Amino acid sequence: MSETEKVLDGNVKEQESSGKKVAALQVTHLSKMYRLYDKPSDRLKEALGLSRQKRYRELYALNDVSFVVNKGETVGIIGTNGSGKSTILKIITGVLSPTAGDVKVNGRISALLELGAGFNMEYTGMENVYLNGTMMGFSREEIEKRVPEILAFADIGDFINQPCKTYSSGMFVRLAFAVAINIDPEILIVDEALSVGDVFFQAKCYHKFEEFKKQGKTILFVSHDLGSISKYCDRVILLNKGVKMDEGNPKEIVDLYKKLLVHIEDGGEGTEGENEQEALSPEEQEKRAMETGGLTGGLPKNPNTLEYGEGHASIVYVATMDAAGNVTSSIEKGTEFSIRMRVKFNKDVSEPIFAYTFKNLQGTEITGTNTMFEGIPVGPRKAGDDIVITFRQKMDLQGGEYLLSFGCTGYMDGDFRVFHRLYDILNVTCVSPKNTVGFYDMNSQITTKLLN
């Protein structure tokens, strides 16, 4: 240990003994700028000094971002695609160099970014274990002590002595994850890497993650899974287009992120529009969306939506709303929410039926209902009628991603007809701090009684 490191280590121990918070990660005014050239020749001219004018456009993946992660904290980073989440993790781990700013790390890092990035496909699994351990700064003796845990966690059997090029993709990520997670890091950095392998291995990954949290490890966690962010994180940072928008407790920041998602789809840029969106009633939000040609109330529309029907009616607006009436694609488990659809009739229909269905990402229908099942009288509709249908219910699905479909069907002359269907048009995220077995929660109330 150098004299500088000894002084730093002494300062850290002094802070810990005095009960002060100790920074494990400190990011100060961090920026990362990329130069975008219209033509390869422009890049060459500038490199050779043949052009005095600027031939590139500047793109900031990160722009003046600062935050601190204290020892023992679990901090989440969320944001839309392209907001700079992965970039900031790569700079922290040394994969990228910043354009400006500084990163200070106090502790040994293990990063679950691009799993297996340092593996040599010609080497056996065991050889890659030693190779990666050495790259992380471990001696051979230290690696040997951890090998049994790594092999047990990866659970790939005799394949550990075969070249990695013979592995299936599942076996490869299992071994890579096992190596990264079992080196006893002081700081764990995770980028969407907890959902690898089959469902049993995923459960093992999350169990290990919870074990790290209980041990007081420092964790920096990037994920689109808002349920996991809400469940595991002490604090959350929201990035948007490379800029830190806010940080705070998970619920507040997840709510802000949900508003941001809707506002981005509406074409807005700033927080003033978000406040305006929040203040609008569901009817006003619907009106504004339809005036701007929006079918989905500003929510992201699935580009692979299946649409068909005879055309006697048209579904002209669909949306999901939280308990406060805000249009959002993220619903907290256990809260009331609404599903809204607006239908215009192009012809007379004697017995229309309005429906919605939730599917999981594998295409299995999870739940759904319609006005006929619920015994809601709709009555005959005339051409030109314009009707809004609102389904209100409690969100009891397990945390995760779902696809929502809408339909307007009915009977004419005794025959069942499909007037308009929109399959898988919306993505709905259920944000859950607690999941049970299966597709939905029975909301069991549990009591125990000691008899002896």
Class of residue 366 by CB neighbours under 10 A (exposed 0-12, middle 13-18, buried 19+): middle
From the list 258, 300, 304, 251, the residue with the least C-alpha distance to 277 is 258
What residue segments make up the domains of the chain, in order of their start?
21-107+186-192+216-279, 282-431
Q: Which of 200-204, 218-222, 238-242, 363-367 has the lowest mean pLDDT?
A: 200-204
The answer to whether 436 touches 397, Cβ cutoff 8 Å, is no
Q: How far is CA 124 from CA 128, 146, 159, 291, 379, in A?
A: 6, 17, 8, 61, 70
Stretch 211-228: mean pLDDT? 85
Report residue 6's pLDDT band, with 50, 70 and 90 as the boundaries. very low
* Alpha-carbon span 253 to 248, nearest angstrom: 6
From the list 156, 255, 167, 258, the residue with the least C-alpha distance to 201 is 156
* Alpha-carbon span 342 to 295, nearest angstrom: 10
Q: Which residues have CB under 8 Å from 371's CB, separation 6+?
A: 353, 354, 355, 378, 389
Stretch 3-15: mean pLDDT? 46
Chain center to CA of 207:
19
Inform me whether the pLDDT recorded for 274 exceeds 50.
no
Report residue 247's pLDDT band, with 50, 70 and 90 as the boundaries. very high
The CA-to-CA distance between both ends of the chain, in Å, stands at 59
pLDDT score at 5: 42
Inform me whether the pLDDT recorded for 276 exceeds 50.
no
Inform me whether the pLDDT recorded for 389 exceeds 90.
yes
pLDDT in tens, 120-164: 899 999 999 998 888 777 888 988 999 999 999 888 889 999 999
Report residue 272's pLDDT band, with 50, 70 and 90 as the boundaries. very low
In the DSSP assignment, the letter for residue 300 is: P
* Alpha-carbon span 281 to 326, nearest angstrom: 8
Q: Which of 12-21, 83-92, 188-197, 237-246 has the lowest mean pLDDT?
A: 12-21
Tokens of 300: 């992201």
* Alpha-carbon span 123 to 166, nearest angstrom: 10
Q: Which residues have CB under 8 Å from 20's CB, separation 6+?
A: none
Let me know the angle formed at the C-alpha of 326 by 322 and 332, rounded to the nearest 5 degrees.
Answer: 25
Bigger pLDDT: 293 or 108?
108
Looking at domain 21-107+186-192+216-279, its CATH architecture is 3-Layer(aba) Sandwich (3.40)
Q: In residues, how long is the chain?
A: 452
The answer to whether 196 touches 116, Cβ cutoff 8 Å, is no
Report residue 114's pLDDT band, with 50, 70 and 90 as the boundaries. low
Q: How far is CA 335 from CA 220, 291, 396, 399, in A?
A: 28, 30, 8, 12
Residue-averaged pLDDT of the chain: 84
Inform me whether the pLDDT recorded for 447 exceeds 60.
yes
Residue type, 167: Y
pLDDT in tens, 282-339: 677 677 666 655 788 778 888 889 999 999 999 999 999 999 888 888 898 999 999 9
Instruction: Return phi, psi of residue 2, to 5°.
Output: -75, 170
Sign of CA dihedral 191, 192, 198, 200: positive
Tokens of 353: 């039926």
Question: How many Å is the Cα radius of gyration of the chain?
Answer: 27
Inform me whether the pLDDT recorded for 192 exceeds 90.
no
Bigger pLDDT: 419 or 212?
419
Q: Which of 283-287, 406-410, 418-422, 423-427 has the lowest mean pLDDT?
A: 283-287
* Alpha-carbon span 72 to 24, nearest angstrom: 8
pTM for this predicted structure:
0.69
Which range, 85-89, 129-133, 351-355, 398-402, is most confident? 351-355
* Alpha-carbon span 175 to 182, nearest angstrom: 11
pLDDT score at 16: 52
* Alpha-carbon span 255 to 275, nearest angstrom: 12
Q: Which residues have CB under 8 Å from 50's CB, separation 6+?
A: none
* Alpha-carbon span 228 to 224, nearest angstrom: 9
Chain center to CA of 243:
18
* Alpha-carbon span 79 to 408, nearest angstrom: 35
Q: Which homologous superfamily does the CATH classification assign to the domain defined by 282-431?
A: abc- transporter (atp binding component) like domain (2.70.50.60)
pLDDT score at 269: 46
Identical topology for domains 21-107+186-192+216-279 and 282-431: no
From the list 268, 231, 236, the residue with the least C-alpha distance to 254 is 236
Q: What percent of the chain has pLDDT over 90?
A: 43
Q: What percent of the chain has pLDDT over 70?
A: 87
Bigger pLDDT: 290 or 257?
257
* Alpha-carbon span 197 to 236, nearest angstrom: 27
